[in-house]
Structure 1
Amino acid sequence: MVSLYFEPNQPMDRYLAHLRRIGHELGTRRWIAAGDSNAKCVWWGSPVTDRRGEELHGTLEDLGLVILNKGETPTFDVISGGQRYTSYVDITAASPGLLDLVDNWRVRDDLTSSDHNGISFEIHLQRIRQNYIKQTTRTYNTKKANWSQFREKLGQIMQETQITIKHINNINSGSELDNAVDKLVNAMKIASGYAIPKIKSKEILAIPWWSEELAMLKRQVATRKRRIRCAAPVRRQMVVEEYLKAKARYETEVRDAQTASWRNFCAKQDRESVWGESIGYWAGRPNVRKIHRWW
């Protein structure tokens, strides 16, 4: 964490040179620079961009730092002579390696009595994860199955639900066939739950196609979208174009990642299908995908 203060009446050169030197000497992918820049730029919420803002923004881009400011609430807010004066001069910038660890950035007016509002955010020690899924597609441990109980339970359920050869031979429509298939699948699930223990897997992963690169691209899209609201008319078209380019790139990367992940999932599903193993057992040849009647 690097704290900065750029005096308003001093040239930016020495401040920016010092900031560059710090960034290069840290030599880390994870660092944050924050403080009072006394510089105005549309990229962190100011309605206008001055020369100081342009110089600072260029330096932050050179260092690979991403602005976290949302530009919705002024960071400086004071009433003087009956007039209210506000600005957006306090900035927070983080390296890409921290984007999926920093959360809940906001301007706070309840932290201090200073003319500058407080800024708070959270830094997680581990990457924020959502939508967890199991790594494997298998549900039942067929190596420990009690197949005698399985056949007995399955036969009982099939009699109760009228899944018989006579019933199947009398099917005359697609809807009747779908209904019979649903009944059979449900019967197999019940019988499996009765006679086959489930796999106890402690290995949990986040969405398999998600990555730090996608998280960074998503944050960049959100940041550029917010900047549209704050952009001066003379810069609005450029800001919109940058947002659309970032959005198109993010969506392309997501589609590619999802496609690759889905292909991998399908390959694993074919290898690990629990029903394929069960059918192979009934046929007496575990590796043969052939259905034999059991009624």
Structure 2
Amino acid sequence: MNCQRLFIFFIIFSLISCKDNKKTAHSTKIEKISRSKDDIYYKYQEPTKNLMDLYPFEEETAGFFKITKEFFRCKGNPLNPERVDTSNLDNVKVYLDCVGPIKHSLPLINGKEGVYPVLIDILNFVQRKTKKRVVITCGHRCPKHNSYADISNIAKTSKHLIGAEVDFYIQGLENSPLKVMDLIFDFYKEDSRYRGSEEYEGFQQYQKETDVSTPPWHNKEIFVKLYQYNEGRDFNNRHPYPYICIQVLYDRSTKQKVNYTWEKAYRGYLQH
């Protein structure tokens, strides 16, 4: 009985729905849109694609990313194995690497975190001229990574500790470091800030004894060493190539000499 009632209700509901649909269809009117000959259409400009501004580290120089202070961050890594100094068997020393730049900043120079700007300027100039990638093997070293990377006595007062030194070579010119040296000289001849100034354009070779076989070059602002295949090998420079080391001697912005001090090396950066 219930099934019969449901069936009858379904039939009645279907008939009513169809009837309403027919009424709706018959009541619909279609009106044509007409326009007069004087109508003016809205003029619109073709959309143009706007590119987002690049971050400094995304800007390219000769097909490579522009070198910024970020390229100079400490290369310490807690996964590096311990290093044991057995040069004195009565005083064996074990060195562990730092945890890296996540725990400390670059040096604070004139109130700002970074490295001396001339280092960045020279490397970008060389990269632009050679159209080859600059490989920075060592930029800033925090005290712990400095002790780990180079256990020699001379490294204890390294300017890597204060953001005033960089080691690098050029990919594709690994065995032609003198060509790179010529470009460093050209930087001072072509840059308008230095052009015509003999104390910057005029490089001289250092005649006193150093840790390299090739006499270093220097002007008022920088001191440049060329390390051969068998020279200057430390944890950051385990590659088989000659490499160039640039040290900053003079800060043009403050008109002061740049010297290593314990205060700058050990307290001149932020620890997170």
Q: If the TM-score is normalised by the length of the shorter chain, which range does it land in?
A: under 0.3
Instruction: Please state which structure has a larger fraction of its residues in helix.
Output: 1
User: Is the strand fraction higher in 1 or 2?
Assistant: 2
- The structure number with the bigger radius of gyration is 2
